[in-house]
């Protein structure tokens, strides 16, 4: 074997890729190579939780994509951050630990087999987890992924929970327990006041294994196919093109934007799209890049009269200085916060089977993903619709492998989606009007008191709604004509090629997507090992 040949090559060291790399390399006789386009994750902003504000627009560790103009959002191009470093998006995300609703997975299992049911995946979620609350029927202890309670929540995060209860939403102390509905505090992927990304969790566990090679600043530009078999990848490193060969498999873990993009660049995808860009067709697969789904998010903001929030104000400077020292010496204080400390899941109708809306409460003003500074003290309540019916796609801007892909989410292209988001805005307003906010709410700044009718709220949504960062579905799992991978995540019609990341979700789960992606990476590796004859890793409940 030359040093450029491995049993498994994993493209993308993000949430899924790190989990897959750790699982595969646990088998001593497997050689594994993990390729990551971004740098090592050594920025202090990654590890200090509130540093996320500095990462959101940082092209060093973030792809900083922009969508095409969105027809239903006044032609706006939306900013789409995605992690570009070891840990991927789990190194720049808001650390909320959520699995989604059990029934979302049971829906996947109908088409794809019981290994995707919630009861099967729950075992994997638990095996990954090291929950500060200890092990239970819903939680794991001793796994590589540290899951913690928020150390010192802002008092306004408590006010939000109280207000939610006052408007009739039940309290929930564990969104990943028996019931998802309710308001409460999120648990976070942190350990002792530091971010616990997928790289920390899984590459940390695999550190020092001689059979795992990690290349950073290495961008895969093409999957190399020979007679409908993936035999390696072409990589761009420091301006040089290099070929890495895979004896067993190439596993794409580049995320919902980049994995379909790489398939398209490799000639796997819709015939017309490839021919338009002069890419020779290797294998026609019409679903590549299609079925894009995301959580569109709307905010209601109020001024904070109590000045307990994280503010952009001279009077905040003493708290900021104390906070800095507290973080440096004890890893506590507001710099250890993921900002989105409390939130919830809300049913719009008593008869709803699962919550339709998710809430993220932030004790600060937040505009344009935090890229636009807002003076003063304030609170932001995010509301997103959990199961949108609108579908978009990922395509090509050009055949240049280093060009950004084309992103067209088609938000609100299905009329039902706007209705639920309008209800969400009304709910957020009721929460801010509840007694718990009486001495806090100093008046709504967004959408603004003048925005009252449903038509006005919709117009405001069109001008202000943004992604809450959960694109999925662009290499969907299934057996129909638009499916890209089968129930074992193997690309239809191609040997030795799997996709394992957010892109394989056939439908968007009701919640944040980091923990589910780690489980998808794990499942892919277990499936690959089962095919290699390693027994006992893949058990359906």
Ligand X SMILES: Cc1cc2nc3c(=O)[nH]c(=O)nc-3n(C[C@H](O)[C@H](O)[C@H](O)COP(=O)(O)OP(=O)(O)OC[C@H]3O[C@@H](n4cnc5c(N)ncnc54)[C@H](O)[C@@H]3O)c2cc1C
Catalytic residue numbers, as ranges: 470
Using Cβ positions, the residue closest to ligand X within the complex turns out to be 14
For residue 289, give the nearest of 64, 13, 503, 496 by alpha carbon.
Answer: 503
Q: Which helix (H) or strand (E) holds 514?
A: helix 514-532
Among 94, 203, 300, 374, binds ligand X (CB under 6 A): 94
Task: Output 220 or 231, the one with its CB closest to ligand X.
Answer: 220
- Mark the segment that binds ligand X (CB under 6 A) among 122-130, 133-141, 479-487, 506-514: 506-514
Q: Rounded to the nearest 5 degrees, what angle is found at the Cα of 234, between the Cα atoms of 230 and 236?
A: 155
What are the b/e assignments for 234-270, b being 16+ CB within 10 Å?
bbbeeeeeeebbbebbbbbbbbbbbbbbbbbbbbbbb
Among 45, 169, 205, 220, binds ligand X (CB under 6 A): 220
Q: Which residues contact 515 (CB under 8 A, 6 or more apart)?
A: 97, 98, 99, 125, 128, 145, 189
Task: Output 376 or 401, the one with its CB closest to ligand X.
Answer: 401
Task: Output 37 or 161, the one with its CB closest to ligand X.
Answer: 37
Among 31, 43, 90, 290, binds ligand X (CB under 6 A): 90
Among 9, 10, 11, 457, binds ligand X (CB under 6 A): 11
Task: Output 237 or 247, the one with its CB closest to ligand X.
Answer: 237
Q: How far apart are CA 170 and CA 153, in angstroms?
A: 20
Q: Is 251 in the site for ligand X (CB under 6 A)?
A: no
Minimum separation from the CB atom of position 453 to ligand X (A): 32
Alpha carbon distances (Å) from 270 to 68, 76, 226, 290 = 19, 27, 19, 9
As given in the structure block, the two tokens for residue 425 are 């805005």
Q: Is 263 in the site for ligand X (CB under 6 A)?
A: no
- Mark the segment that binds ligand X (CB under 6 A) among 26-34, 77-85, 167-175, 392-400: 77-85
Minimum separation from the CB atom of position 470 to ligand X (A): 6
DSSP-derived secondary structure letter, 115: G
The number of C-alpha atoms within 13 Å of 31 and in the hemisphere containing its C-beta is 12
Among 144, 254, 311, 378, binds ligand X (CB under 6 A): 254
Q: Which residues contact 70 (CB under 8 A, 6 or more apart)?
A: 76, 77, 78, 408, 409, 410, 411
Minimum separation from the CB atom of position 24 to ligand X (A): 15
- Coil, strand, or helix at residue 291? coil
Among 100, 153, 255, 424, binds ligand X (CB under 6 A): 255
Site string for ligand X, 13-42 (x = CB under 6 A): xxxxx-----------------xxxx----
Q: What is the distance of C-alpha 118 from the center of its chain?
A: 19
Minimum separation from the CB atom of position 150 to ligand X (A): 12
Q: Is 219 in the site for ligand X (CB under 6 A)?
A: yes
A 10 A CB-CB count for 133 gives: 14
- In the complex, the residues that contact ligand X under the rule CB under 6 A are 11-17, 35-38, 81-84, 88-90, 92-96, 98, 219-220, 253-256, 258, 262, 469-470, 501-502, 512-515, 517
């Amino acid at each position: 074997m030359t040093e450029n040949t491995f049993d498994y090559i994993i493209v993308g060291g993000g949430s899924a890729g790190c989990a897959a790399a750790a699982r595969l390399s646990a088998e001593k006789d497997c050689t594994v190579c993990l390729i990551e386009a971004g740098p090592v994750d050594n920025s202090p902003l990654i590890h200090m939780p509130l540093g996320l504000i500095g990462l959101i627009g940082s092209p060093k560790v973030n792809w900083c994509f922009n969508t095409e103009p969105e027809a239903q959002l006044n032609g706006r191009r939306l900013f789409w951050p995605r992690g570009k470093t070891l840990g991927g998006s789990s190194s720049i995300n808001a650390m909320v630990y959520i699995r989604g609703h059990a029934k979302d997975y049971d829906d996947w299992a109908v088409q794809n087999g019981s290994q995707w049911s919630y009861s099967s995946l729950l075992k994997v979620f638990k095996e990954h987890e090291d929950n500060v609350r200890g092990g239970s029927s819903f939680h794991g202890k001793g796994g590589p992924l540290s899951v913690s309670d928020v150390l010192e929540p802002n008092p306004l995060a408590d006010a939000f929970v109280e207000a939610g209860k006052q408007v009739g939403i039940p309290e929930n102390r564990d969104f990943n327990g028996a019931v998802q509905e309710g308001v409460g505090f999120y648990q976070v992927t942190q350990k002792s006041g530091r971010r616990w990304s997928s790289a920390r969790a899984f590459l940390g566990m695999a550190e020092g294994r001689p059979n795992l090679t990690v290349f950073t600043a290495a961008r895969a530009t093409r999957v190399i196919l020979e007679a409908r078999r993936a035999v390696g990848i072409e990589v761009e490193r420091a301006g040089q093109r290099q070929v890495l060969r895979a004896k067993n498999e190439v596993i794409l873990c580049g995320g919902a934007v980049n994995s379909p993009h790489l398939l398209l660049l490799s000639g796997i995808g819709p015939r017309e799209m490839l021919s338009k860009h002069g890419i020779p067709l290797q294998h026609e697969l019409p679903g590549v890049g299609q079925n894009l789904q995301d959580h569109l998010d709307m905010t209601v903001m109020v001024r904070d009269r109590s000045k307990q929030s994280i503010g952009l104000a001279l009077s905040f400077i003493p708290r900021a200085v104390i906070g800095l020292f507290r973080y440096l010496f004890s890893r506590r204080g507001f710099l250890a916060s993921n900002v989105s400390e409390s939130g919830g899941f809300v049913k719009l109708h008593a008869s709803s089977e699962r919550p339709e809306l998710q809430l993220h409460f932030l004790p600060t003003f937040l505009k344009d993903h935090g890229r636009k500074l807002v003076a003063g003290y304030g609170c932001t309540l995010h509301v997103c619709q959990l199961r949108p019916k609108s579908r978009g796609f990922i395509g090509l801007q050009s055949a240049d492998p280093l060009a950004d892909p084309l992103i067209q989410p088609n938000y609100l292209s299905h009329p039902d989606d706007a209705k639920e988001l309008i209800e969400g805005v009304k709910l957020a307003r009721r929460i801010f009007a509840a007694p718990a906010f009486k001495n806090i709410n100093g008046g709504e700044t967004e959408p603004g008191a003048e925005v009252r009718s449903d038509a006005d709220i919709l117009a405001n949504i069109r001008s202000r709604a943004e992604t809450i960062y959960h694109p999925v579905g662009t290499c969907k799992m299934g057996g129909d004509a638009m499916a890209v991978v089968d129930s074992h995540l193997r690309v239809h019609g191609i040997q030795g090629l799997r996709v394992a990341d957010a892109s394989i979700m056939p439908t968007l789960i009701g919640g944040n997507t980091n923990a589910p992606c780690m489980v998808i990476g794990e499942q892919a590796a277990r499936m690959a090992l089962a095919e290699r004859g390693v027994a006992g890793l893949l058990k359906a409940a």
